[in-house]
Amino acid sequence: MASTAIRTGGTAGRLSLPPLVEARAARSNLGDRIFRTVLRLAAGAVLLLVLALAGEMARTAWPAMQKFGARFLVTSTWDPVAEQFGALPFVYGTLLSSLLAMLIAVPLGIGAAVFLAELAPQWIRPPIAFLVELVAAVPSVVYGLWGIFVLAPLMRTWIQPFLGSTLGFLPLFQGPPYGVGMLTAGIILAIMVVPFITAVSREVLLAVPNSQREAALALGATRWETTRLAVLRYGRSGLIGAGLLGLGRALGETMAVTMVIGNRPEVAISLFAPGYTMASVIANEFTEATSDLYLSALIEVGLLLFLVTVAVNGLARLLVWSVGGAVKVVRE
């Protein structure tokens, strides 16, 4: 029969096929298994790392947690000599500076994202998007440097006196203009965080389906009206997520803030007053920590910071993902 002839036919010019089941298959199966195991190990390493991070911090912070308990969060005394540690000034400072930064950065960031994704003429989009990326790439210490030598003197000489004379009736703007302080820290945080918010918001807006824009345009809407009606409303939760991601960034920002916030562990109402953040106190005092309890207290501050940022970022990602599937969010 023709078929058997083909099967058992001559070997001239034919590949001899190995039998279907056997050594070759077993070998590749082994190869697959080894490969997959290696991959799983790498993934497991990531898992282990995060757990180790949380675990190590909890362990080294335990002595302080034990000694001060919940009072840690609400006491203002930070006295290394007497070994009394209360983290309130740092929590206050972190929250206030971040809040200030958000007030400035969120409107600016979303506005810039709307420009880039919806309203700008096509030719201008790539260069501006690239420049925004560059702003995000500037290291924190360089911002801090600029903050010390340019922004702080500017604040001290012009902006703070101006605010003091016009809005000085508010306790927010009272007190001597040091230049460094909460307001300066808030401004520099805003500058650092805004490109990040812009980038994420832009991705959110780009994820809004085009059919929505077309629906609005076909009704006779202008570009802005289309953005307002079809895009911003649709991407609302994603934009909130972008803001929250920016907040997460601001909460953990260390160097630039340390260099311009004045580093005084006090809770003050005025925005002109120096302050202290959780990240800054760790940066400044970690290597100076003379006793185990001191170190433990600092690490507890770090643990607090860790928990807060994880919570904020977790919530943010949930919101960002809700618009058009997984929007790419990577630390730029």
Partner 1 sequence: MVDGIQVTGVNAWFGSVHVLKGIDLAMAPKAVTAIIGPSGCGKSTFIRCLNRMHEVVPEARVSGTVLVEGEDVYAAGVDPVQVRRRIGMVFQRPNPFPTMSVFDNVAAGLRLAGMRRRADLQEAVERALRQAALWDEVKDGLDKSGTSLSGGQQQRLCIARALAVDPAVLLMDEPCSALDPIATARIEELILELRGALTIVIVTHNMQQAARVSEATAFFLMGELVEFGVTRELFTNPRDKRTEDYITGRFG
Partner 2 sequence: MTARTRRVVNRVMGGLTALAAGLVILPLLLIFGFLLFQGASAVNVDFFTHLPKPVGEDGGGMANAIIGSLILVGLAACLGLPIGILGGVYLAESRDRRMPWLVRFLADVLNGVPSIVIGIFAYALVVLPMRRFSALAGAVALAVIMLPIVVRTSEELVRLVPSSLREAALALGIPEWKVILRVVLPTARAGIITGVMVAVARVAGETAPLLFTAFGNRFWHQGLDQPIAALPLQIFAYAIAPYDDWHRQAWAGALVLIGMVFIVSLAARVATRGRFSGVR
In the complex with partner 2, the residue whose CB is nearer, 193 or 270, is 193
CA distances from 13 to 8, 9, 16 (A): 13, 11, 9
State the Cα–Cα distance between residues 92 and 95, nearest whole angstrom: 5
- Nearest-angstrom CA–CA distance, 124 and 127: 6
Which residues, at least 6 apart from 122, have a Cβ–Cβ distance to it below 8 Å? none
Stretch touching partner 1 by CB under 8 A, among 230-238, 260-268, 289-297, 324-332: 230-238
CA pair distance 173, 132, nearest whole angstrom? 32
Determine if 236 is a binding residue for partner 1 (CB under 8 A).
Answer: yes
- Per-position x/- string for 80-119, each x denoting binding to partner 1 as judged by CB under 8 A, each - no binding: ----------------------------------------
In the complex with partner 1, the residue whose CB is nearer, 9 or 209, is 209
Name the 3-class secondary structure at 85: strand
The answer to whether 105 and 248 are in contact (CB under 8 A) is no
Query: Hey, what amino acid is at 8?
Result: T
Q: Does 219 bind partner 1 (CB under 8 A)?
A: yes
- The residues pairing with 85 across neighbouring beta strands, listed in sequence order, are 78
CA-CA distance, 261 to 178, in Å (whole number)? 10
Structure tokens at 219: 């009704």
Cβ–Cβ under 8 Å, residues 93 and 276: yes
User: 7-66: which residues touch partner 1 (CB under 8 A)?
Assistant: none
238 binds partner 1, rule: CB under 8 A? no
Q: How many helices (H) and strands (E) does the chain have?
A: 16, 2
122 binds partner 1, rule: CB under 8 A: yes
**Does position 216 bind partner 1 by CB under 8 A?**
yes
Q: Which does 233 bind (CB under 5 to 8 A by kind): partner 2, partner 1, none?
A: partner 1
| Interaction of residue 79 with partner 1, rule CB under 8 A | no
CB of 31 to partner 2, least distance (A): 5
- Comparing CA positions, the residue from 79, 57, 100, 141 lying closest to residue 266 is 79
Please tell me the count of residues contacting partner 1 according to CB under 8 A: 19
Does the footprint of partner 2 cover residue 171 (CB under 8 A)?
Answer: no
Q: Which two tokens mark 284?
A: 């400044």
Q: Give me the count of residues in the chain.
A: 332
Question: Which residues ranging from 245 to 284 are in contact with partner 2 (CB under 8 A)?
Answer: 245, 248, 251-255, 259, 279, 282-283
Q: Binders of partner 2: how many residues, by CB under 8 A?
A: 98
Sign of the C-alpha dihedral, residues 243, 245, 249, 250? positive
Smallest distance from partner 2 to CB 2, Å: 26
**Interacting partner of 36 out of partner 2, partner 1, none (Cβ under 5 to 8 A depending on kind):** partner 2
99 binds partner 2 (CB under 8 A): no
> 253 by DSSP, 3-state: which?
coil
Which of 91, 101, 117, 319 lies at the binding interface for partner 2 (CB under 8 A)? 117
Dihedral angle sign, alpha carbons of residues 76, 79, 80, 83: negative
Task: Candidates 212, 286, 293, 322: give the one binding partner 1 (CB under 8 A).
Answer: 212
User: Which segment (46-54, 100-108, 225-233, 303-311) binds partner 1 by CB under 8 A?
Assistant: 225-233
Per CB under 8 A, residues contacting partner 1 are 122, 209, 211-212, 214-222, 225, 229-230, 233-234, 236
